[in-house]
Structure 1
Amino acid sequence: MPDRAQQPVDRQLPTEEARDLIALVRDIAQREIAPGAAEQEEAGAFPREVFSLLSESGLLGLPYASEHGGGDQPYEVYLQVLEELASARLTVGLGVSVHSLACHALAGFGTKEQQAEHLPAMLGGGLLGAYCLSEPAAGSDAASLRTKAVRDGDDWVVNGTKAWITHGGVADFYTLLARTGGEGARGITAFLVPGDAPGLSAAAPEKKMGMKGSPTAQVHFDGVRVPDARRVGEEGQGFSIALAALDSGRLGIAACAVGVAQAALDAAVEYATDRRQFGRPIADFQGLRFMIADMATRIEAGRSLYLSAARLRDQGRPFSRQAAMAKLFCTDAAMSVTTDAVQILGGYGYTQDFPAERYMREAKVLQIVEGTNQIQRMVIARHLTGPETR
């Protein structure tokens, strides 16, 4: 059974322009992304042509300023675009979120000259970005990263390996966090590195249980020379830049999680209303009706949570705690909803003939990327009780 298009969601959109934007995204998702998504994921096909289409349609720079090629859209709207894209194919929705994350450093901390030179191509020129923070031995403890950038005249020479990089090997630019000083967070600096820089290479993509169409790979920096003009922010400011980007990125993951969960609920409802046992649709049985009700409630609660955090961000108010809560709740909800969807489909849910098993495999990674859910709980607790005593 092929994936079906997501049923329209009653979205909370502030303007007529936003409503038209969502209608455009939904049309693209249904015509260009959802058809064949399962087959392409199984084949590990990276949809570069889809990202090119999204760039041409002005959808890769939505939350950034129009003066640099962005869409001037509030996060409240941008995140609902991500949800629509992720419901059609998580590789695309998450890919747009990662691209936005990779643009965040330059848009938020770059000089006016840097922004004028690079942002138009990054936001609307067909380029695709990646974000290089994690390393083989520095995941949750990102401040312990070891990739080094050493000053050499007007350049920096970078050596080291980054790990778990979405778009590793296919990105046109990498936002890189590297050590330029002493140990800890204060010795880290941000750089904008071209994807074709000499000495930059990517390993073979990781073999994953889900999101096979999205390449995740180690990225190696072997004597890569980066001009100081591509340093973003001050020396030693990189870790605070990274954390600021991750707060926004976590909202993107939350929105993608809700999109996957919504797609799983749609598939479960369609199956339950069509499948007949004991002379009637299985949707008539109270056990399944209660499961479906709980699934829908988790989705609606998650959507409200990420939108609430987005509105804080749009108002310029602190939102770090709410972003961690949204990432935690929405991704846990997606795992629960997709698991229930497989259960509702029974034996068919365990087969690749139906999309539920793919949604379940994809949901798992959302509890891990951009800060595991255990890290989110630590972030939330620190906001409430202060740092841990040692």
Structure 2
Amino acid sequence: MTATVQDETADDGAKQPGGKHQAGADSLTPPSADCTLGRGRADARQFGIARTTADGDRVDLPSLVAEAEQMGGITPGQAALLVVHHAALQAVLRYGSRNLQSRHIDDMRSGNLVCALAITEPDVSGSNLRGLTSKAVRDGDDWVMSGAKSAITGAPLAAFFVTLIPFIVEGGVALTAVLVPSDSPGVTIQPPEDMYGLWSVPISGVRYEDVRIQSWQILGKVGSGVDVIGDSLLVGRICAGAISLGVLKRGAQLMYRFASRRQVSTGRLADDPVFQRRISRITAEIAAVEALLSTITTEFEVPQEIALALKVASSEFAHRATDDAMQTLGWRGYMEASGVAELMRDVRFLRIGEGPSEALLTELGSRLAAHDDTIYDWIADRDPSSDATSRLRETVSELTAESSTGLFCDLGWFGVWAILDAVVPRGSAASALIENAWHLARVSVAARPATGSDFLQSIPNFADSVGTLDEFLSCHATEIDPTLHPTRGKASQGEPLVGPEAPGWQETVHDLVYAQIARTPDAIALRDASGHRITYAELGEHADALANRLRAQGVRNGDVVGVFLSRDARMAIAAIAVLRVGAVLLMLNPAHPTRRVRDMIADADVGCIVADEQTRALLPANAPELIIADGSGEPGPVISRSDPRGPPTAKFRSPTCWNALARGCKSQRR
């Protein structure tokens, strides 16, 4: 393999890992960042020795977390490389075929072969998996993959890439995880990017041009890629918390040593009230992160929501701590010699990598708004006597009753504080920190002014005083990012998810569903959060039954039917039934404010609404005629053949300004 790690010897005689890209004169890394992995440690503690459980079926989180924390306090970039290797290894250990593992797992465990994650694409963030434009098409027994991935940590060192690729299958797209050797024909690793931080680790993109994928390279099954990558991201996010914890502790050390020796006009800096407030906050944040991290690492299964909360809180705390450290040290902090500048640059990445904080908080908040009980159950299991769950429920209920989806990010923060509150000791400084943060967040949300659109008129005028953006970019970048390039226009955007292999216009959404029902009637079609499953055959029967009831209710082609149900199997059944009768589907969210739901119903001229006994109570007064989804119906024949060019769904362009008229639009059925 092209990225086999070599052994080299440090000045002190200890072994250290080598590779194709090392810090020094021949790399992009400045000499100050030449802090190599494994220096001064025994061979068994080098990067190459993977931390796996005794059974060898997964990564050993406790030992990996301890190592990541220690390395995070030295060089976060190298710690990130360690974590990425183990995150990718987790996918291979848990989902790799016997053939794959017999070929490569020993070399991966020993560190002779290094792995990397390849998810993000040049024009698509890793948090938008549905927007991936790379693809793999069937070719005999194999698949042929093409596309590009970007921002891959350690790409030039990697022997393998764990890659998420949309497989073009009959009827659509199946997101699939595959293991791609870096020396496969058609794989091109791009030169390392010139980054703001992470100078000790090469980060670059990779291009796939007609790369052949055999069955042994598929991790899990075709279509299970989100679950596979989810396991890898879980490891990465937990370890991001460990790296951040190391940075927090190092920042506190630097601040206190400097402040204890620095004399200012009022005396010793360490006695200054501003400094003491800062260092007290940082140590409380350290205690909170440490408590959550130690709780997580003792559990066999960790919910994604908890890992999201840890990653967000720890990375935000660490970034603020490095800023405080630089401010405390003054101009000395701004110099490379103190080490603060490198910590600040490197830890900034943790707020972006493994999912940007805003995206993760929004995801967390949306789950709370949708009445997902995962966080509540986790908190109750850890601290049954805590009032955190009831307080969180009250806050979520209050904010979602009168506010729009724009508060999902804020709801995510309330979820983070509630999770931390469940693991810190009562009466501790960490507990007081969380309580204060909770109240400040409530005040901030209540006092926040409404977001307007004045900036749309203001921004073009800024060029009068600072010049055009194109002038700035041409002076500061040898190669302008394609997204910022002045020639980028609408023609290069909005690429279809599945490309030219997408189903033709003659296929409607429900046609595709019923075709799958005919192919695999006994396969599992839906599984909701409670574990309830229904087969494709049952899906068709339920959808036909509801479709007949809709037709009996007088619903005809082109009528707008609202579906006002929680995110479970009934919502999918109702959506298919509405399309089945040729009606226009309008999805209504029970978590949205009543006023927004009322205005959407009025603007779309909804004729009837499918609800259940729980959601009907949330509907506005004078809502159209109801069809209760809990009722029964008899399966029947196909009700209506829809025109694929007709509108299947009504969509609203502005989720926050629902008083505007004529903002609804209809899309085609194909």
Match of 2:112 among 123, 126, 151: 126
2:312 corresponds to which of 295, 310, 328: 328
Residue by residue over 1:166-217, the C-alpha shift from the partner in whole angstroms, topping out at 9 and shown as x without a partner, is: 1122211111111112699961111111121122112222211111121111
| C-alpha contact (below 8 Å) 2:168/2:174 kept by paired residues | yes
Stretches of structure 2 lacking an aligned partner (at least 5 in a row): 1-11, 18-22, 373-404, 406-588, 590-650, 652-670
TM-score, with normalisation over the residues of structure 1?
0.81
Q: Which has the higher contact order (CA 8 A, sep 6+)?
A: 1
Moved more, 102-111 or 277-286: 277-286
Bigger mean CA offset, 380-389 vs 285-294: 380-389
CA distance in 1, matches of 2:248, 2:335: 18
Superimposed CA distance per residue, residues 256-291 of structure 1 (whole angstroms, 9 cap, x where no aligned partner): 111112111111112112223348532122321221
The question of 1:115 aligning with 2:115 is answered no
How far off its partner does 1:335 sit?
Answer: 0.9
What residue in structure 1 maps to residue 128 of structure 2? 141
Structure-2 change in CA distance of 1:258 and 1:125 (3 Å) = closer
CA distance in 2, matches of 1:244, 1:184: 27
Alignment of 1:61-72 (within 5 A): 62-66=50-54, 68=56
* Distance change in 2, residues 1:38/1:196 (3 Å): closer
TM-superposed deviation, 1:116: 3.2
Query: Aligned residue for 1:258?
Result: 245
What are the residue-to-residue correspondences of 1:177-326 with 2, within 5 Å? Answer: 177-181=164-168, 187-278=174-265, 280-312=267-299, 314=300, 316=301, 318-326=302-310
Runs ≥4 residues deviating over 6 A = 30-33, 37-40, 44-49
- How far apart are the structure 2 equivalents of 1:158 and 1:98? 23
Answer yes or no: is the 8 Å Cα contact 2:37–2:47 preserved in 1. Answer: no
Q: Distance in 2 between matches of 1:183 and 1:131?
A: 27
Q: What is residue 377 of structure 2 aligned with on the other side?
A: none
What are the within-5 Å matches in structure 2 for residues 80-119 of structure 1? 80-119=66-105
Q: Which amino acid is 1:64 matched to? A: T
Query: 2:148: which partner in 1?
Result: 161
Measure the CA separation in 1 of the matches of 2:200 and 2:207: 21
Inter-CA distance 183–245: structure 2 relative to 1 (3 Å threshold)? farther
Structure 1 segment 29-68 matched on structure 2, within 5 A:
41-43=29-31, 50=38, 57=45, 60=48, 62-66=50-54, 68=56
Is 1:370 the equivalent of 2:354?
yes
The 8 Å contact of residues 55 and 123 in structure 1, kept in 2 or not, is answered as no
One-letter code of the match for 1:339? D
The structure-2 alpha-carbon separation of the partners of 1:155 and 1:73, relative to structure 1 and needing over 3 Å to count, comes to closer
* Same amino acid, percent of matched pairs: 25
Q: TM-score, normalised by structure 2?
A: 0.49
Root mean square deviation, CA, Å: 3.2
SS of the aligned residue for 1:204 comes to: coil
Aligned position for 2:328: 344
> Is the 8 Å Cα contact of residues 155 and 226 (structure 1) preserved in structure 2?
yes
One-letter code aligned to 2:52: Y
- Alpha-carbon distance between aligned partners in 1 of 2:296 and 2:171, rounded to the nearest angstrom: 29
**Partner SS state of residue 30, structure 2:** helix
Q: Which amino acid aligns with 2:146?
A: N
Aligned to 2:369: 385
Contact 2:37 2:46 in 1 (8 A): no
Q: CA 1:136–1:351 in structure 2 vs 1: closer, same or farther (change >3 Å)?
A: same
Quote the Cα distance in structure 2 between the aligned partners of 1:385 and 1:108.
32
In structure 1, C-alpha distance between the alignment counterparts of 2:84 and 2:309, rounded to whole Å? 19
Shift, 1:47, TM fit: 7.1
| TM-aligned CA deviation for residue 128 of structure 1 | 1.2
Q: Which amino acid aligns with 1:128?
A: V
SS of aligned partner of 1:181: strand
Q: Deviations over 1:5-30 (max 9, x none)?
A: xxxxxxxxxxxxxxxxxxxxxxx9x9
Paired residues, number? 353
Conserved? CA contact 1:192–1:232, under 8 Å: yes
What CA distance in whole angstroms lies between the structure 2 residues aligned with 1:333 and 1:185? 42
Structure number with greater Rg is 2
The offset of 1:105, in angstroms, is: 1.4
Greater percentage in helix: 1
